[in-house]
Amino acid sequence: MRQFDYTTVPAELEATPITNLLLSIREHKGRQLALSQVKPELLSSLMEEAKIQSTQSSNGLEGIVTTQKRLKAIMAYSAKPSSRAEEEIAGYRDVLSLIHEQHDSIPVTPSVILQLHRDLMAHTAISYGGHWKDSDNEIISIDNQGNRFVRFRPPSALATPGLIEEACRSLNDALSRQVCDPLLISFRFIFDFVSIHPFNDGNGRMSRLLTTLLLEKTGYDVARYISIERLIEDNKALYYNALAASSTGWNENQNTEVPFIRFMLGTTLAAYRQLEQRTLIESSTRPMSKQARIAVLFQQRPGVSKKSDIRSNCPDISEVTVKRTLGQLVSCSAIEKTGAGRSTGYILKDVHALELFLQSTIPDSEAAITKEAPKDKLLERVNHAEDESREAPWTEDPFDFTEEVAFKEIERRFYASLTEIQREIYDCVIFGKVRPSQFAKSKGVSASSVSQHIGAIRKRAKKYFKISESGT
């Protein structure tokens, strides 16, 4: 029987590739606080766009589709669903909106998961919405020759309620005890949820909704502004391969979670990078280049775009510039050409290639903002977090805390030992390089209080470094 214990971190999840991803995400998470204060209206626009993309992509992964016109009408509540697919889309819309609006007050418990599944299926005529599966199910895959085969057999319907109960209990226990980065805990739970496959239908969509819920509950708000579902769909082959690789031996507690965890961490990091880039480009006081304006349309408009669409949105851009930019985007594999003649269109092919193209349109001084921050010594980050008060506790002599140590077990333990507010300061001020005064204002606390917390963080970092040096 499958067992769940998210309070214990497997050694394989403490390896350098995983910790490296976590540290990079933490840096971006910290910088998001500063980005969120640039233009609130921009973030509001990004959130509405992400809702549409998430609903479209999560359903699209299950073969549930409708036209762009109908999708937008349903998302805007200006049209009622007229087919089973549109009923499913409307359900996803409702649950996703609920998560965005009330995530802090939505606990992850079996009863709540059932309620969310009921709401997901609320617009359909099916009778099993809000109920665990009543028969055993199988996960089917298709090989290169088109042959169907059973890739994975989830637990029986009889065992499902108990397994979900135990997984939720372990999840909440681990999150409350802060045993490690909440991302690791959350993604381990999501993988187990997918493996249990607790419903007759809607398992994939529920797993992605729960992913968004846990990201937002644990402070990773990037899921509000950049569609995690869209990034998964863009890399669906890797997504399904990661699920398959991690599920072997799951029923016997002999599987490895690394492929799935690495995929989800990479997806989260990609979302943060995309958010920074979008914010930088769209909030810049200097006008975007014509190339960037054309490229951004493929982020903003799901589906196929034609030259006429581009000319309609950018009437001041010449036909020559449009043609040249489309050619460049095709050449770098950011988009691909579809159809021919009057039916010629272009569709987003690789979101990461598109990001690189946009990066190339930004002047060097601005582009530097979107690059990964160097892995400076930890205490140097603390010591130089803010220069506005030389008497602050963090301005003592620098203390060496090498990059090598940051990737080891000691860094994980150090971070887990911090209080919730200290973690936020660590993420935002030390790693994210948000000014302490700015952080204090955003949280409604005094600057002196933030200074005291930074001093405590520095003191604790010294303690943990000395422990690692002595080998205890």
**Domain CATH number, residue 352:** 1.10.10.10
| Residue 66 sits in the same domain as residue 183 | yes
**Residue 379 · residue 401 · CB < 8 Å:** yes
| Residue 406 sits in the same domain as residue 276 | no
Q: Which of 64-78, 150-164, 379-393, 403-417 has the lowest mean pLDDT?
A: 379-393
| pLDDT tens digits for range 44-63 | 888 999 999 999 999 999 99
The dihedral through the CA atoms of 21, 26, 31, 35 has a sign that is: positive
| pLDDT tens digits for range 414-431 | 777 888 788 888 877 776
| Residue 46 sits in the same domain as residue 67 | yes
- What value does the mean pLDDT take over residues 164-190? 96
pLDDT value, residue 456: 86
Query: Which is more confidently placed, 10 or 33?
Result: 10
Query: Which is more confidently placed, 36 or 218?
Result: 218
Identify the CA nearest to 383 among candidates 373, 371, 396. 396
Residue 19 lies in a domain: no
| Residue 44 sits in the same domain as residue 121 | yes
| Residue 361 sits in the same domain as residue 386 | no
**Residue 313 · residue 297 · CB < 8 Å:** yes
| pLDDT tens digits for range 292-330 | 888 878 876 656 788 888 877 777 688 888 888 998 899
| Residue 202 sits in the same domain as residue 165 | yes
CATH of the domain at 46: 1.10.3290.10
pLDDT value, residue 172: 98
Q: Which of 56-60, 206-210, 285-289, 293-297 has the lowest mean pLDDT?
A: 285-289
| Residue 313 sits in the same domain as residue 186 | no
Pairing between strand 148-152 and 139-142? antiparallel
| Residue 342 sits in the same domain as residue 388 | no
Other CB atoms closer than 10 Å to residue 285's CB: what's the count? 4
Domain boundary among 280, 312, 340: 280
**Residue 453 · residue 422 · CB < 8 Å:** yes
Q: Which of 14-18, 198-202, 242-246, 358-362 has the lowest mean pLDDT?
A: 358-362
CA distance 130 to 270: 33
Domain boundary among 350, 370, 390: 370
Residue 11 lies in a domain: no
| Residue 237 sits in the same domain as residue 93 | yes
Give 346's DSSP letter.
Answer: E
| Residue 64 sits in the same domain as residue 127 | yes
Residue 429 lies in a domain: yes
Residue 3 lies in a domain: no
**Residue 455 · residue 394 · CB < 8 Å:** yes
| Residue 99 sits in the same domain as residue 245 | yes
pLDDT value, residue 222: 94
Domain boundary among 261, 280, 299: 280
pLDDT value, residue 300: 63
Residue 240 lies in a domain: yes
Residue 20 lies in a domain: no
| Residue 42 sits in the same domain as residue 177 | yes
Residues in the chain: 472
Structural domain harbouring 340: 286-370
Residue 8 lies in a domain: no
Q: How many domains does the chain have?
A: 3
Q: Which of 110-119, 379-388, 403-412 has the lowest mean pLDDT?
A: 379-388
Residue 17 lies in a domain: no
Q: Which of 66-80, 88-102, 337-351, 421-435 has the lowest mean pLDDT?
A: 421-435
CA distance 252 to 351: 37
